[in-house]
């Protein structure tokens, strides 16, 4: 081992002594910075990841919409199914309606799904918490969990659903009776907005409620794993060129502004938190400069023993690097440790402050999501180690510039 | 005739003190033969340490030249193997134990293996510290620290040792034992020694004593 590396290790971890106070503070500073970056990046990334997952799970990777009703859904579905990369197509119709249970009204989004094909695109079965998706037919309904809870609706209970068609018909002196549907299931996606205000019915029931006939509002499309959603959406648009009123949007395209805001928030927070690492790097620099001053005579001695200025500089650079490596390792352990217990911490916090409902309302999720991209992790690790090493460069330069004679005379 | 191991010719050195230029060394010439011991005495501020730093290649003269074994290369790489130094303040590295401090000289000069470790342990035994090789400098007395420094100076089997008042921080008895040790080991291993000291009795034990006065070197005694 080169002597400057050996000495750097010995100065950081002296034989038979504890870690020096300055070194410990420097390592702790870096560790706290890295831990904060990891936790924040993971949680911000987790929100983004959950939102993306939720969008895909509830809409498919590609959505086909039309300016007007799609009157020939079978023909369109057949055309879309032939597009390379498409593995599933399911039609949908949706709209707001009035739902009543035990004289309690609600105005949920009613989603009509094709029970035979919806599972090819949207993993609805995964979200069923009570009852069964197999029990969904034209006389039944599946409620979202929070809507069922707020209404007090249970499996087997009967709800009535009316649509704006009721008013339309009344204008023409016609009677359109609300439909009575039995609750066949309760689902929960994990997104507060969807879980509090969504109702699933069959596509036929929705067409009946909105008077759509055979028409639908659009299609959700699933694509083969690993394919780019934008590419497949472009292929679908090419295949549907004969239908000028229709257009396929990838989930990225359809939610681009929302996704941009999420990404922007994550990037801004990361940039702000980078200042923690910068502050920690000043702590490293200050610690190493103090070491240079304290060890001036030893630096002179190293010169007298035959140490070259570059080697003396390397000794201090290595110390900055090692502080960075140790701080980063500690920070990763601390950060991932905290992420492991994040939900327990949140539960404790919300219990103490009585703010669970508020948190769910504003943040949409009942648990704190966490997801960190490997590239983000690499940037955090590499960035921190580089900044820490750079923090060692100025003290190293100072040490290498010391004249051995002056250094040996230093008292 | 023995090889000239150290030769200094016409050394001049001045330092700036404010706007005044102080002449510290004036036309100093010196030669030391292989295995010879030479002491340099003189008043404080007479330029002894400055001369030693020039002889060690740690500082450059304003004029004149220094050569080791006939070669003017006094750079860091050659210094690591050619020269050993002992200082008044020991300058041990506090984070390293006695053995590691001795080995540090070998580490700076090149890779350290079993042979170097064995030699370091032998040297510590020679200076009477084989039982204290794993003690940190803070756990050693002043005399013991200087013994470690002597062992370190001998570690790379140098041709020349420069000792700058090695007994200056020690009591008389300990200082005597250090000088005995230093002179004994240098004689035994055929190493040339230049000893800067205030102590007349220590100087008298070297083969030749020079006196530094007002930046000039004078011969006092030639046995």
Among the partner residues B58, B91, B136, nearest to A298 by beta-carbon distance: B91
Measured between beta carbons, the chain A residues lying within 8 angstroms of B60 are none
Which residues from A are below 8 Å from B87, CB to CB? Answer: 301, 304, 408
Residue B17 neighbours by CB distance under 10 Å: 8
In a domain, A81, yes or no: no
Residue whose token pair is 């990361």: A270
Contact with chain A for residue B109, Cβ under 8 A: yes
3-state secondary structure of A141: strand
Q: Tell me: do A299 and A341 sit in the same domain.
A: yes
Nearest to A307 among B49, B56, B76 (CB): B76
Residues A266 and A367 placed together within one structural domain of the fold: yes
Q: Per-residue confidence of chain A (411 residues) as pLDDT tens digits? A: 888 889 888 888 876 667 778 788 888 888 988 898 899 888 888 877 777 777 778 778 898 988 888 888 889 999 999 999 999 999 999 999 889 998 889 999 999 999 888 888 888 888 888 998 889 999 999 999 999 999 998 999 999 998 887 777 777 777 777 889 999 999 988 777 788 889 999 999 999 888 888 999 999 999 988 888 889 999 999 988 888 788 888 887 777 777 788 778 878 877 887 787 777 778 778 877 877 777 788 888 888 888 888 888 898 888 888 888 999 999 999 999 999 988 888 888 878 877 766 666 666 566 778 888 888 889 889 988 888 888 888 888 888 887 777 777 755
* Shared-domain flag, residues A265 and A403: yes
| Cα A80 from Cα B21, distance rounded (Å) | 94
For the domain that residue B78 is a member of, what is the CATH number?
3.40.50.300
Q: How many domains does chain B contain in total?
A: 1
Task: Give me the number of domains chain A comprises.
Answer: 2
Q: Which residues contact B13 (CB under 8 A, 6 or more apart)?
A: B23, B24, B25, B47, B50, B54, B59, B61, B62
What is the DSSP code string of A207-265?
HHHHT-TT-EEEEEEEE-TT--HHHHHHHHHHHTTT-TTEEEEEHHHHTHHHHHHHHHH
What range defines the domain where residue B98 resides? 4-221
Contacts of A3 in chain B (CB under 8 A): 104, 107-108
Structure tokens at A287: 């610690």
Q: Say yes or no for a CB contact (<8 Å) between A408 and B77.
A: no
C-alpha A283/C-alpha A287 separation (Å) is 6
Interface contact B53-A301, CB threshold 8 A? no
| Reported ipTM | 0.83
Q: What is the dihedral of CA A189, A190, A195, A198, to 10 degrees?
A: -30
Q: For residue B156, what is the DSSP state?
A: T
| Count of C-beta atoms within a 10 Å radius of residue B3 | 11
Q: Which domain holds residue A191?
A: 86-223
Residues of B in Cβ contact (< 8 Å) with A303: 58, 76
Look up the pTM and report it. 0.68
Give B136's contacts (C-beta < 8 A, 6+ positions apart). Answer: A14, A15, A16, A17, B94, B95, B96, B97, B98
C-alpha angle with apex A58: A57 to A59, nearest 5 degrees?
A: 100
Q: Tokens representing B2?
A: 């023995």
Q: Is residue A70 part of a domain?
A: no
């Amino acid at each position: 081992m080169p002597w400057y590396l050996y000495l750097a290790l010995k100065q950081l971890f002296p034989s038979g002594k504890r870690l020096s106070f300055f070194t410990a503070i420097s390592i702790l500073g870096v560790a706290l910075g890295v831990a904060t970056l990891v936790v924040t990046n993971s949680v911000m990334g987790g929100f983004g990841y959950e939102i993306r997952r939720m969008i895909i799970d509830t809409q498919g990777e590609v959505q086909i919409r039309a300016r007007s009703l799609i009157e020939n859904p079978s023909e369109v579905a057949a055309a879309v199914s032939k597009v390379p990369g498409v593995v599933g197509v399911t039609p949908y119709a949706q709209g707001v309606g009035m739902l009543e249970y035990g004289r309690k009204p609600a105005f949920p989004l009613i989603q009509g799904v094709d029970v035979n094909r919806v599972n090819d695109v949207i993993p609805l079965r995964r979200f069923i918490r009570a009852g069964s998706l197999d029990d969904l037919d034209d006389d039944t309904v599946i409620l979202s969990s929070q809507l069922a809870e707020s209404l007090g609706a249970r499996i087997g209970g009967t709800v009535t659903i009316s649509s704006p068609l009721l008013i339309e018909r009344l204008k023409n002196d016609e009677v359109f009776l609300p439909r009575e549907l039995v609750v066949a299931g309760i689902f929960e996606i994990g997104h507060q907005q969807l879980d509090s205000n969504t109702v699933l019915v069959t596509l036929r029931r929705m067409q009946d409620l909105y008077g759509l006939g055979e028409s639908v509002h659009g299609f959700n499309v699933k694509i083969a794993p690993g394919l780019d959603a934008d590419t497949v959406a472009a292929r679908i648009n090419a295949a549907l060129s004969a239908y000028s009123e229709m257009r396929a949007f990838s989930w990225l395209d359809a939610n681009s502004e929302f996704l941009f805001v999420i990404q922007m928030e994550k990037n801004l927070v990361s940039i702000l938190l980078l200042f923690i690492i910068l502050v920690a790097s000043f702590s490293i620099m200050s610690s190493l400069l103090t070491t240079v001053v304290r060890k001036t005579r030893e630096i002179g001695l190293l010169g007298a023993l035959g140490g070259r200025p570059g080697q003396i500089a390397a000794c201090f650079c290595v110390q900055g690097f090692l502080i960075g490596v140790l701080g980063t390792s500690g920070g990763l352990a601390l950060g991932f440790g905290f992420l492991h217990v994040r939900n327990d911490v949140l539960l404790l916090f919300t219990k103490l402050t009585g703010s669970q409902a508020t948190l769910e309302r504003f943040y949409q999720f009942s648990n704190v999501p966490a997801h960190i991209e490997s590239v983000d992790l690499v940037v955090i690790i590499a960035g921190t180690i580089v900044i820490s090493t750079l923090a060692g460069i100025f003290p190293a330069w100072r040490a290498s510039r010391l004249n051995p004679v002056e250094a040996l005379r230093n008292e | 005739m023995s090889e000239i191991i150290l030769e200094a010719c016409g050394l001049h050195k001045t330092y700036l003190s404010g706007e005044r230029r102080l002449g510290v060394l004036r036309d100093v010439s010196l030669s030391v033969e292989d295995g010879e011991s030479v002491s340099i005495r003189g008043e404080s501020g007479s330029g002894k340490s400055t001369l030693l730093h020039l002889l060690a290649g740690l500082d450059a003269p304003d004029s004149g030249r220094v050569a080791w074994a006939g070669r003017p290369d006094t750079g860091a790489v050659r210094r690591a193997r050619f020269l050993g130094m002992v200082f008044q303040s020991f300058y041990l590295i506090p984070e390293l134990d006695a053995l590691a401090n001795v080995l540090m000289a070998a580490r700076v000069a090149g890779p350290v293996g079993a042979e170097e470790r064995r030699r370091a342990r032998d040297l510590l035994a020679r200076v009477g510290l084989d039982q204290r090789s794993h003690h940190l400098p803070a756990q050693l007395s002043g005399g013991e620290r200087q013994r470690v420094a002597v062992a370190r100076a001998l570690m790379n089997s140098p041709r020349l040792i420069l000792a700058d008042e090695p007994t200056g921080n020690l009591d008389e008895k300990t200082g005597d034992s250090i000088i005995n040790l230093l002179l004994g080991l240098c004689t035994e291993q055929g190493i040339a020694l230049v000893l800067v000291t205030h102590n007349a009795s220590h100087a008298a034990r070297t083969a030749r004593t020079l006196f530094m006065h007002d930046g000039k070197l004078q011969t006092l005694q030639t046995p």
